[in-house]
Amino acid sequence: MNKKVHEKLSSRQKSMQDQLGFEHFTTVRHDGFAFQNLVKQQEGVNQQREDTEMQRKLLAKCKPPTANNSQAPSTNSEPKQRKNKAVNGAENDPFLLTLAEYHEQEEIFKFRLGHLKKEEAEIQAELEHLERIRNLHIQKLKRINNEDNSQFKDHPTLNERCIILLGKGGFNEVYKAFDLYEQRYAAVKIHQLHKSWSDKKKENYHKHTCREYRIHKELDHPRIQHKLMSEKEARSIAMQIVNALRYLNEIKSPIIHYDLKPGNTLLVDGTTCGEIKITDFGLSNIMDDDSYGVDGMDLTFQGAGPYWYLPPECSRVGKEPPKISNKVDVRSVGVIVFQCLYGRKSFGHNQSQQDILQENTILKATEVQFPVKPVVSSEAKAFIRCCLAYRKED
């Protein structure tokens, strides 16, 4: 099993590295041309602004006197005077423009300068955006270089338990790993003692590392390890999930998702206050006439799925497979909302899949217990209780 996992991960790694390298190359080239084009645009805008400012100063010299000025020409003599001045080539003469023409031209210059200022701000914002992208690529190149030079680059198995994957962090050796015991992804931080260190320094470093490990292991506070959502955010997510489930149950051959959990609920814009999408239908069941009866349908893949989010009937073992229905997904919704509000699963929070199965955690979970904090409305608790009813008939 480990060998197959290794081969699959290695193949995926090579594909990702090839794709990443190509994307980086094309993006850097694109960014290089983009920088040049933006700089040229910026120079052009600056030149237009200088020209406009110069024309505006010349216009100020051509401002005609106001009506209160005793030297102002009469209305009757103005056309003839303008004509004579134009004929004589005195374009910059103060009396060449009427007051209305002056204000009109001044307004044009103001509008043009305002537009150029806006255009310059947009170019500057785009330059800053490209600069951030370039810095991210530089960081990515450094990370890839560190991974290529790491002794753990070939996905070794640590203590026959964790397979090291791509995803090295910036401090020490922090990798994304897959835990073969818990069947889940985990972060593995690898500390290495430098050969040049003294024995005293190595001893102190070892103590520091062990202390860090104990701190992480003993911490169990919702504000440190889990993000809590407001009731309004949780309600929005629940409404969208239920709306999707209603659709799945109204189509011609209804579908049981069977794998609803936070990991399969994607935030479209990266925030909890926006739209969500339900994904991963790998364990889904189609409730067609051949397989679905009055009591539901047989659970054909016992042992699969996230135990924390499944109802008690999915954990029962016997000669006959248990019957399931679309109420499996209702149970999952209740656990998801509970987790959104309290930052922990409603049942078996700190237990592994194996422990939940061996200790019959879900089978014994007849009633949900709500933490004292944070404070949640009675309506939200009532909704969760309904979703987490022990008997599927309820």
For residue 5, give the 3-state DSSP assignment.
helix
Residue 345 CB neighbours (<10 A) = 20
Pairing mode, if any, of strands 297-298 and 323-324? antiparallel
Q: Copy the structure tokens of residue 330.
A: 């209702």
Active site residue 259: yes
Cis peptide upstream of residue 374 (ω within 30 degrees of 0):
yes
Cα angle 126, 130, 132 (rounded to 5 degrees) comes to 115
d(CA 84, CA 73): 13
Dihedral of alpha carbons 340, 345, 349, 355, sign: negative
What DSSP string describes 77-101? THHHHHHHHHHTT-TT-TTSS-HHH
C-alpha distances in Å from residue 310, one per residue of 21, 258, 320, 336: 41, 8, 19, 11
Question: Is 6 in contact with 155 (CB distance < 8 Å)?
Answer: yes
Question: How far does CA 216 lie from the centroid of its chain?
Answer: 25
Distance between CA atoms of 70 and 374, rounded to whole angstroms? 80
- Are 92 and 62 spatial neighbours (Cβ–Cβ below 8 Å)? yes
* Class of residue 58 by CB neighbours under 10 A (exposed 0-12, middle 13-18, buried 19+): exposed
E-strand ranges in 88-247 read 157-158, 162-164, 173-179, 184-190
Catalytic position from the list 148, 154, 220, 259 = 259
Q: Determine phi and psi for 126, rounding to 5 degrees.
A: -70, -40
Where do the DSSP E strands lie in the chain?
A: 157-158, 162-164, 173-179, 184-190, 255-256, 265-267, 276-278, 285-286, 297-298, 323-324
Catalytic residues, which ones?
A: 259
